[in-house]
Structure 1
């Protein structure tokens, strides 16, 4: 699966964190202590509000002109796609892709956990949606913003990588369960962001945040995911369909959008984004002609 349901506590400016702090106080203390240790190592002072990631896996705070993000996993799970995502994105993506640039990285282990601290440029622009990926009200964005988003995704698509953000195996296992149709063989792949939603995009000038899940994915997946997160706002959803008709109105683009819809239906089945459920089901049925099963995990 991609990182659609596992956002990573990215930069915030004038908005609340996407996820809550860990439920266990010991985990909160451990993460805060490790974040403070990284700040001392980088010789910065973290004073901004806390931004927790999914299941308390990450903790980010502003530190002057920097953003200090801490990622923690059990020692035996160190490494992998999400662990390496920010570093590999910074090295591989063209400079024309508007994103925070990485400044320093620090790795260490302590008490059974592996930690990675990343010091990146702080983006002093608010994300387009506060508190989460689902768009709650229509956004008015200039034509230039949409052109910049198209250009950013096109530039990202030129990158050659072996990182896999979405896997055929997930499609094979889950299409019948969440869409009620047989699995589709993905033949058109591209390189993309992997978690394109409104909490990862700023208003003009466009900056695309949180690249930890980037990699190979079906054509149409990124913009299909953004469209799915916009289904509660008809005008913005219609604007996306118009701006990206050259992708979404192709067979490959429709397939990529179906993958995004299936993954979000899985998230809904696990209790996430319940407000999206009827919209996802309606859009999937429009594309497939098949009623969508009741979402389950």
Structure 2
């Protein structure tokens, strides 16, 4: 994601009242959980979440209108902590706090602080090839294999999304998702640390098409050809199957939906080209290579 786009989505709320409300809520959560927050603020998508380091932990809050709390952003990090096996490297949850102020509900999550830096910071995509040890790739393969065995009825990707959107974004008739697995659903380079591997941000995990996670990671690597080739080589047993190609197509279609909103402008033509290579059909919308400044 280009810097201009990152600044538009992963920033503090533009309205001063919203900014101060989230800061007060974060401070209140820190007090209740008996930690002292420090370090820079890290805002989530369009200012919906706020996180800061709190000693050896990370304290994140999310807010929603009273009566509308719940769903992935609200609950799925906590459910990952209880359902996903410890063999999958991830931050452990230390505490959860829920409360409601007038018209607004809050959830605070206190997790282990991860000192190992993510592969990328602030953007899900690579801008150049990276060198990771063979052990890192083995750890990723093992982690995804262990995650695939987790039983859950949580759906991260639904057939009805495919039915509504494939023709619009891929120019082909919807395909049927016939093989699913349990996955992360947001597997990109800002959610993977350098060695040793830790997988971050578990708010989207659940059932998804086989090949979806890996198709997403591969798409976010298209500006780094050697790394993209490494992914295809390491995970050929998934990506080169019929089920894997279906999952990759779903991932590409969802990314093209984001591209249609001005996200990932540098990656856009590469994602479109990869989709066309799989479908042998031009994508129906002429996505711009860059968002106008």
Shift of 1:111: 2.2
CA 1:273–1:17 in 2, change beyond 3 Å: closer, same or farther?
Answer: closer
Partner secondary structure for residue 212 of structure 1: coil
Which of 180, 189, 200 in structure 2 is aligned with 1:189?
A: 180
2:23 pairs with 1:32: yes
Please give the TM-score of this superposition, normalised by the length of structure 1.
0.93
Tell me what 1:71 maps to.
62
Which segments of structure 1 move beyond 3 Å, counting only runs of 4 or more?
A: none
Tell me what 1:235 maps to.
226
Superposition pairs of residues 191-270 of structure 1, within 5 angstroms: 191-270=182-261
Q: What CA distance in whole angstroms lies between the structure 2 residues aligned with 1:158 and 1:18?
A: 34
Q: What CA distance in whole angstroms lies between the structure 1 residues aligned with 2:20 and 2:231?
A: 42
Which of 48, 55, 62 in structure 1 is aligned with 2:53?
A: 62
Q: What CA distance in whole angstroms lies between the structure 1 residues aligned with 2:155 and 2:59?
A: 26
Which of 158, 169, 175 in structure 2 is aligned with 1:167?
A: 158
Aligned residue-pair number: 281
Superposition pairs of residues 109-128 of structure 1, within 5 angstroms: 109-128=100-119
2:277 pairs with 1:283: no
Q: What CA distance in whole angstroms lies between the structure 1 residues aligned with 2:83 and 2:222?
A: 32
Partner secondary structure for residue 73 of structure 1: strand
Q: What CA distance in whole angstroms lies between the structure 2 residues aligned with 1:22 and 1:138?
A: 33
Tell me what 2:39 maps to.
48
Contact 1:17 1:50 in 2 (8 A): no
Q: What CA distance in whole angstroms lies between the structure 1 residues aligned with 2:123 and 2:67?
A: 30
Q: What CA distance in whole angstroms lies between the structure 2 residues aligned with 1:152 and 1:17?
A: 33
Contact 2:8 2:46 in 1 (8 A): no
RMSD: 1.4
Q: What CA distance in whole angstroms lies between the structure 2 residues aligned with 1:289 and 1:91?
A: 43
Residues 106-132 of structure 1, C-alpha deviations (whole Å, 9 max, x = no match): 000112111000000000011101221
Shift of 1:17: 12
Contact 1:130 1:199 in 2 (8 A): yes
The answer to which of 286-295 and 34-43 deviates more is 286-295
Shift of 1:83: 1.1
Contact 2:9 2:46 in 1 (8 A): no
Partner secondary structure for residue 174 of structure 2: coil
Tell me what 1:19 maps to.
10
Contact 1:17 1:52 in 2 (8 A): no
Gaps of 5+ in 2: 1-6, 288-293
Residues 223-263 of structure 1, C-alpha deviations (whole Å, 9 max, x = no match): 10000111111111111110110000000000000000000
Contact 2:152 2:206 in 1 (8 A): yes
Contact 1:218 1:256 in 2 (8 A): yes
Which of 144, 153, 161 in structure 1 is aligned with 2:144?
A: 153
Residues 168-210 of structure 1, C-alpha deviations (whole Å, 9 max, x = no match): 0000000000000000010100000010000000000000000
2:86 pairs with 1:95: yes
Contact 1:21 1:52 in 2 (8 A): yes
Shift of 1:81: 2.5
CA 1:34–1:204 in 2, change beyond 3 Å: closer, same or farther?
Answer: same
